[in-house]
Amino acid sequence: MTEGTYIRFVEGTPKPKTKTWAVFGDKDGDGHDLIGCIAWLGRWRKYCFFPEPETVFEQVCLREIAEFCEHETRHHRRKR
């Protein structure tokens, strides 16, 4: 599990070649609100964020999600 300022990333069941993460918000401090997931998008050849419907994000969350995707994409490419 990795934590951001208002979000946390929880690793899910890995696929044969890639990983997935559930992304939870920190509404009321409980950290149990699923706001999306991160998974590999083959046609873009990188990890991407797939938000849940009707979710809203501010700049800190967006930046942390983007940085997490970039970090995991670099890590994935180094392994290969």
Sheet order of strands, 21-25 included: 2-3, 7-11, 21-25, 33-41, 46-51
Dihedral angle over CA of 71, 74, 76, 77, nearest 10: 170
Among residues 19, 20, 21, 24, the alpha carbon closest in space to that of 7 is found at: 24
Q: Between 26 and 21, whose confidence is greater?
A: 21
Q: What is the mean pLDDT of residues 14-36?
A: 84
Residue 26 bridge partners (DSSP): none
- Report d(CA 78, CA 7) in Å as an integer: 26
Q: Between 78 and 1, whose confidence is greater?
A: 78
Residue 15 confidence (pLDDT): 87
pTM for this prediction = 0.89
User: What is the average pLDDT score of the chain?
Assistant: 91
Name the band, by pLDDT with cuts 50, 70 and 90, for residue 8: very high
Number of other CB atoms surrounding residue 8 within 10 Å: 16
| Per-residue pLDDT reduced to its tens digit, 48-78 | 999 999 999 999 999 999 999 999 999 999 9
* Residue matched to tokens 């899910």: 12
